[in-house]
Structures are given as structure tokens and as C-alpha cells.
């Protein structure tokens, strides 16, 4: 059990579980259990807090906008928001009896010079005062992340939110995602709606699907040889994105290396895309757990 701070990286462990969070975007960049890494990280990912780009891989946080948002209040904010690009404060990490906990924080004070933050504020006609907190709890076979958002001064603050998690898999073609049966989805590549009728989803081509999760879709498993994980989340995260750029699009992404590594990853991302609001003085929170099975 240990906690180490190495410049912009916070490394912590609990038994045979090890995690590493980059202050850049408060991105979980590594989750290792019994020597096996469960997260994909591009070899070209830049983990420095000063890097101009978000981390390609791990679990960046998408907030306040998902994609190029269709929501009026978020139209001027860049793809996937700006908090993944900010250098978060590391607050504390502690080894407790049952787990190791690491806490991070980002507030409007750190964002004042960020153009995308300013764009977001324009809609409300005032500087948005907010605080985001991320608390990671590392157990022997799982990691839980708790996120809190406090809206200090806007009567009703609208946002989208997503854990943009890149899972590492030995071979994406041999991977199955279960738990999506009966879920409606939007195929974002073809702008087509559909219904998943199959108990197992395979990813065999460029994929960008946004699922609306029902009551029967609260446990999502990624099964891939010896790398099997179960994903769960608080009930307020009702959406799930499955994304793989595949060969052609991986080639276009500068920070995606090696180019062939689209074969060894898949993003499976819990979030809320429909537009959630938090009123002035209130705290919104959510939770997501990755368990090795
Ligand atoms: C996914 C989106 O969440 O992220 C995709 O569904 C997007 O549409 C992908 O291409 C990667 O986005 P980015 O901004 O991290 O390159």
C-alpha cells in the first residue's frame, strides 16, 4: 500500500491493485491488478499538466459538453468540454483499512483564463462559479470514482458528463460487451436509431454508438480473454458510449500511437448526455466502478 507523487502523476496502490492519475484532466491513466493493465494509453499521450492536448487514453472526464453539443447552453463549448484539458489540484491520498483513496479538485478559479470556460460563461452572462471533485477509491479488485459538482451561483446550470474510458483489450475483434440487450441506441456515424437485440455486442468496424440504458442495462461486462471487467454506475448515468476509431480514423489522430493499437482498445463510457441541471447552491454527484471479474 503506497502513495507516491511524481511531478504531475499521483500513483497509489492497495495490495496488488495499482492506479495512477495525471493531474492533467484528473485522468486515471493506469489501473493494474495482479500485474495486468486494464486501461489503454496511447504511446503518444502527453501526461504533462502543461500539454496543450487532453490525454489520449485512460479515463479523461468529459464536461460540461459531450461532442459538439446540440444543447443551446453548450453550443459554444468545444468538443468534449474543457476540464480534461485543465491541470487539477491534487488534494490528498490516504491508505485506509479497506482501500486507498485519492482526492482531486477543480474550480472556476483555475479556469478563468481558459477560453472554453469563458465561452460557457457567455451563455449565462456571468462567470460560472463551480467546483468539481473527483475521489478515487482503489480496492484489491476494483476502482470506484465519485464525482461531485457544486454550482455556486447560476440559477440552473446545464451540463453533459461522461467518463471517457479507454479499455485495453488483447484483441478488439475477440471482445464482447454484454448487458446492452434491449437498449436503444443512436449510431452517431450514420445518424440512425436502433435497438440492441443481442446479448453480446461485437466491435468489428469503426463504431460510435450512444446507448440509452434501461433498468436491465445497469451492469455492462467487457469480456476479452483473460481481461474481463464489469462496469457499474450510479442510476443518474443513463447513457453509455461505445467508441472505436478503427484503422482510418486512428491514422488521422496525431496522438494515437501506435496506429494499429485501435485493435487493442475500446472506449466504453458511462455518462449523462441528455442535459442535466444542477440548481444554485446544490451538489450533483455520480459514481462509476470498474471491477475485475
Ligand atoms: C467519443 C465520441 O466519446 O469520443 C466520439 O463518441 C469521439 O464521437 C471520441 O470521436 C473521441 O473524441 P476526442 O475528442 O477525444 O478525440
Residue 253 Cα to ligand 1 middle (Å): 11
Q: CB under 8 Å, gap of 24 or more: what pairs does 100-103 form? A: 100/1, 100/3, 100/12, 100/13, 100/14, 100/19, 100/137, 100/138, 101/135, 101/136, 101/137, 101/138, 102/3, 102/10, 102/12, 102/19, 102/21, 102/135, 102/136, 102/138, 103/133, 103/134, 103/135, 103/136
Q: Which residues line ligand 1 (CB under 6 A)?
A: 67, 79-80, 164, 188, 208, 241, 243, 267, 269
| Calpha distance 81→238 (Å, rounded) | 19
Residue 144 Cα to ligand 1 middle (Å): 23
Residue 82 Cα to ligand 1 middle (Å): 13
Q: Which atom of ligand 1 is nearest to the CA of 210?
A: 6
Which of 54, 66, 70, 80 for a ligand 1 pocket mutation test, highest count of atoms within 8 Å of Cβ? 80
Residues of the chain with pLDDT under 70: none
Measured by CA distance, the residue closest to atom 9 of ligand 1 is 243
pLDDT at 106: 98
Which of 164, 189, 249 for a ligand 1 pocket mutation test, highest count of atoms within 8 Å of Cβ? 164
pLDDT at 226: 86
Residue 201 Cα to ligand 1 middle (Å): 19
Q: What is the pTM of this model?
A: 0.97
Residue 67 Cα to ligand 1 middle (Å): 7
Q: What is the pLDDT of residues 170-228, one digit of tens each?
A: 999 999 999 999 999 999 999 999 998 888 999 999 999 999 999 999 999 999 998 99
Q: Rounded to the nearest 10 degrees, how much is the dihedral formed by the CA atoms of 43, 4, 107, 25?
A: 10
| Calpha distance 112→116 (Å, rounded) | 10
Q: Which atom of ligand 1 is nearest to the CA of 84?
A: 15
Amino acid at each position: 500500500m503506497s502513495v507516491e507523487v511524481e511531478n504531475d502523476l499521483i500513483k497509489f496502490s492497495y495490495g496488488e491493485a495499482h492506479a495512477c492519475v495525471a493531474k492533467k484532466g484528473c485522468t486515471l491513466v493506469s489501473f493494474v491488478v495482479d500485474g495486468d493493465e486494464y486501461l489503454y494509453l496511447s504511446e503518444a499521450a502527453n501526461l504533462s499538466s502543461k500539454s496543450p492536448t487532453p490525454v489520449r487514453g485512460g479515463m479523461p472526464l468529459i464536461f460540461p459538453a459531450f461532442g459538439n453539443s446540440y444543447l443551446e447552453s453548450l453550443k459554444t463549448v468545444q468538443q468534449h468540454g474543457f476540464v480534461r484539458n485543465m491541470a487539477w489540484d491534487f488534494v490528498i491520498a490516504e491508505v485506509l483499512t479497506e482501500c486507498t483513496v485519492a482526492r482531486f479538485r477543480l474550480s472556476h478559479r483555475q479556469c478563468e483564463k481558459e477560453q472554453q470556460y469563458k465561452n460557457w460563461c457567455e451563455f449565462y452572462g456571468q462567470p460560472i462559479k463551480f467546483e468539481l471533485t473527483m475521489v478515487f477509491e482503489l480496492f484489491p479488485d476494483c476502482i470506484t470514482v465519485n464525482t461531485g459538482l457544486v454550482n455556486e451561483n447560476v440559477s440552473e446550470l446545464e451540463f453533459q458528463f461522461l467518463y471517457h474510458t479507454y479499455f485495453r483489450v488483447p484483441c478488439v475483434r475477440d471482445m464482447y460487451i454484454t448487458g446492452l440487450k434491449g437498449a436503444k441506441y443512436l449510431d452517431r456515424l450514420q445518424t440512425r436509431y436502433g435497438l440492441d437485440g443481442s446479448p453480446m455486442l461485437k466491435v468489428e468496424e469503426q463504431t460510435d454508438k450512444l446507448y440509452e440504458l434501461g433498468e436491465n442495462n445497469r451492469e455492462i461486462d467487457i469480456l476479452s480473454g483473460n481481461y474481463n471487467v464489469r462496469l457499474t454506475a450510479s442510476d443518474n448515468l443513463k447513457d453509455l458510449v461505445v467508441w472505436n476509431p478503427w484503422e482510418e480514423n486512428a491514422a488521422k489522430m496525431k496522438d494515437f500511437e501506435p496506429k494499429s493499437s485501435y485493435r487493442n482498445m475500446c472506449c466504453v463510457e458511462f455518462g449523462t448526455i441528455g442535459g442535466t441541471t444542477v440548481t444554485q447552491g446544490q451538489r450533483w454527484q455520480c459514481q462509476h466502478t470498474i471491477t475485475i471479474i
